Amino acid sequence: MRTLIISDIHANLPALDAVIEDAGSFGQVWCLGDVVGYGPDPNECIQRIASLPGIRCVKGNHDAAILGDIPVQAFNYEARASLRWLQSELHPENKLWLGELPERLELEGVTLAHASPRNPVWEYIMDIRAAEENMGEFATRVCLVGHTHFPYLFQLEAKTPDTIRRSLLPEDKPFSLEEKSILNPGSVGQPRDNDPRAAYLIFDDEDQRWTFRRVPYDIQQVQERILAAGLPQRHAARLAAGW
Ligand code: ZN
């Protein structure tokens, strides 16, 4: 069975739909959170994700903020503006759906957490030190995280244990993970690695291989709707260059 892995959708429905179409057939979906925040389509993204086959989803910091789990003051000025807008837009049943998301999920062979296994909604795993500190915090071979909006892999070295290697994900080149790993699929709706295309992963359990994909979508249309909704201009501008 093929599993679609998505993260940081950030209320960007055209990006999400481009990913779903590009992924082809899949039997289940692992979603690493931040379904909402920044973008113009929070209700539509929740409804689309909730309807995907075999959906398992964890809660992101933006999802938690809208539920009141994290004080809005913890966010920067523009993220706060988008949270206030979201507060007035989000339908009650969609808020309920977000409220039921767990912070962390342990499935067969894989742990899901938005930010990190030890601090599921807030820590950024950007460097080897943070990855090192988190390697002992999950029992499965692979931990999937999002949050940074950077696709990457942190992996324990087979030959020299306790050494962690950080690598970028090869596009369209299936790879397998033999050693303990922290794997980030990048962001669907707001990539920050200077590549504006939506990012996602596919896992095929038949050959135990992971494939990283990028897919273009109509960015201009999303930018126009961000501005029309009165959301911060910066949230529209960044989509075009992926920062
Ligand atoms: Zn995010």
CA 54 to ligand 1 centroid distance, Å: 22
Average confidence score pLDDT of the chain: 95
Residue 16's pLDDT is 98
Judged against a pLDDT cut of 80, whether residue 161 lies above it is answered with: no
Residue 81's pLDDT is 84
CA 28 to ligand 1 centroid distance, Å: 22
Judged against a pLDDT cut of 80, whether residue 125 lies above it is answered with: yes
Q: Are 19 and 188 in contact (CB under 8 A)?
A: yes
CA 141 to ligand 1 centroid distance, Å: 24
Least confident of 37-41, 51-55, 66-70: 66-70
Q: What is the mean pLDDT of residues 143-169?
A: 92
Q: Report residue 204's pLDDT band, with 50, 70 and 90 as the boundaries.
A: very high
2-241 under CATH 3.20.20.70, yes or no: no
The Cα 205–Cα 75 span in angstroms is 38
CA 224 to ligand 1 centroid distance, Å: 21
CB-side exposure of 119: number of CA atoms within 13 Å? 9
The Cα 50–Cα 41 span in angstroms is 14
Report pTM: 0.96
Q: Which residues surround ligand 1, an ion (CB under 5 A)?
A: 8, 34
CA 60 to ligand 1 centroid distance, Å: 7
Residue 70's pLDDT is 78
First-last CA distance in the chain: 33
CA 148 to ligand 1 centroid distance, Å: 7
